Amino acid sequence: MRTKYVYTFACHENEYELCQLELYTLLKPAEEVDYTNSSYVWSERCIPPGRSPFIHGRLDVIGEGAQIKELFPIAREIRLKQDETFKVVCLKAGDHRPDYDEARKIEKEIGMCINGRAQMKQPEVTFGLIKIGEKWILGQWTESDKSWQLHQQKPQNYSTGFGVSLARALVNIAVPEGANHRLLDPCCGMGTVVIEALSMGIDTKGNDLNVQAVRGARVNLAHFGYDAKRITQGDMKELEGEYDSSLLDMPYNLCSVLPPQEQRLMLAKLRKLSRRAVVVSTEWVQEHILEAGWKIVQYITVKKGTFVRHVWVCN
């Protein structure tokens, strides 16, 4: 029998489309999810919850019951390692969120059934409870590792580049399964995408035409302990090699527009470099994408105020 997982998540209303696409790509949900109202998603895929900027944690399901008392015998069967400490928490998610007093009562009842030493401050194992529909779910809870947020403090940056959360979500869309997967960012700017991908263990290379951007990206990679040589300088149309995926943020400037012929050449070259691509642009480049031989499988927009990015997922 396959283990089932419940992931809890949250996103801003401007991020619904991005959150939905990322979680669908990463988790292949077992059922339809209302991302505008829901706070959880079922999946049979097990991923580190810290991969996603939207996921709060992962519950590895141990058992279910229509009432809390039906979970008591399930909790009694839990086997901890010798001297391993634990605690039980009611998750702040689901279809019914108990108030403070009810939550503490439920946590105590389940905790009393577990054979082990309770430790509320720094337990070695945490068990979570969540009510979904008419059932209470008990499982082992893994909190998301948010250490990647430190990447916001890059030594070199510029205002029009991707934010760390957006970069991380786009990497997950480009590379939902990171093992033995090579990713290319051919217009990498200050290296935000490359850093996020490397932090998830994805073999990633970056390139940029702009010498100053390359210099900044190399400083940023070295600052976080990554090999600065992963960033190369040059025209992406002269790049060689084969990659499983690419993530192209089409160059743009507030004072000038990239000529259509240049856009077509870049997208055609991208087709030769990788089998899958996420293309991001502030302009409408769908026709150029199709002309380059790509098939568009998903399209969303990401908005920040009046600034809109178009995102195409291509095979």
Q: Using one digit for the tens of pLDDT, what is the confidence trace for 38-77?
A: 799 999 999 999 999 999 999 999 999 999 999 999 999 9
**3 torsion bin: left (phi>0), alpha (psi -120 to 50), beta (else):** beta
Tell me the residue range of the domain where 237 lies. Answer: 147-314
Based on the fold, state whether residues 102 and 158 are members of the same structural domain.
no
DSSP structure string for 49-69? GGGSSSEEEEEEEEEEESSGG
Based on the fold, state whether residues 73 and 185 are members of the same structural domain.
no
Q: Is the pLDDT of residue 31 over 90?
A: no
Predicted local confidence at residue 47, as pLDDT: 95
Alpha-carbon distance of 232 to 230, in angstroms, equals 7
Which position has the higher pLDDT, 179 or 82?
82
Predicted local confidence at residue 288, as pLDDT: 96
Predicted local confidence at residue 35, as pLDDT: 78
Q: Which of 96, 112, 143 is the last residue of a domain?
A: 143
Predicted local confidence at residue 194, as pLDDT: 98
Predicted local confidence at residue 1, as pLDDT: 61
pTM: 0.93
Strand partners for 281: 310
Dihedral of CA 106/109/114/118: which sign? Answer: positive
Q: Using one digit for the tens of pLDDT, what is the confidence trace for 200-249?
A: 999 999 999 999 999 999 999 999 999 999 999 999 999 999 999 999 99
Based on the fold, state whether residues 157 and 306 are members of the same structural domain.
yes
Q: Which of 121, 143, 165 is the last residue of a domain?
A: 143
Based on the fold, state whether residues 188 and 134 are members of the same structural domain.
no
Q: Which of 143, 175, 200 is the last residue of a domain?
A: 143
Which position has the higher pLDDT, 31 or 112?
112
Based on the fold, state whether residues 96 and 175 are members of the same structural domain.
no
The number of distinct structural domains making up the chain is 2
Based on the fold, state whether residues 108 and 67 are members of the same structural domain.
yes
Residues 131/95, Cβ–Cβ less than 8 Å? yes
Q: Using one digit for the tens of pLDDT, what is the confidence trace for 96-139?
A: 999 999 999 999 999 999 999 999 999 999 999 999 999 999 99
Based on the fold, state whether residues 188 and 40 are members of the same structural domain.
no
Q: How confident is the model at residue 304 (pLDDT cuts 50, 70, 90)?
A: confident
CATH number of the domain encompassing residue 108? 3.30.2130.30
Based on the fold, state whether residues 15 and 130 are members of the same structural domain.
yes
Q: Tell me the backbone φ, ψ of residue 247, rounded to 5 degrees.
A: -130, 105
% helix, strand, coil for the chain, step of 5: 35, 30, 35
Based on the fold, state whether residues 290 and 153 are members of the same structural domain.
yes
Based on the fold, state whether residues 175 and 102 are members of the same structural domain.
no
Q: Using one digit for the tens of pLDDT, what is the confidence trace for 243-279?
A: 999 999 998 754 456 888 999 999 999 999 999 999 9
CATH number of the domain encompassing residue 254? 3.40.50.150
Based on the fold, state whether residues 118 and 9 are members of the same structural domain.
yes
Predicted local confidence at residue 255, as pLDDT: 46
Based on the fold, state whether residues 151 and 177 are members of the same structural domain.
yes
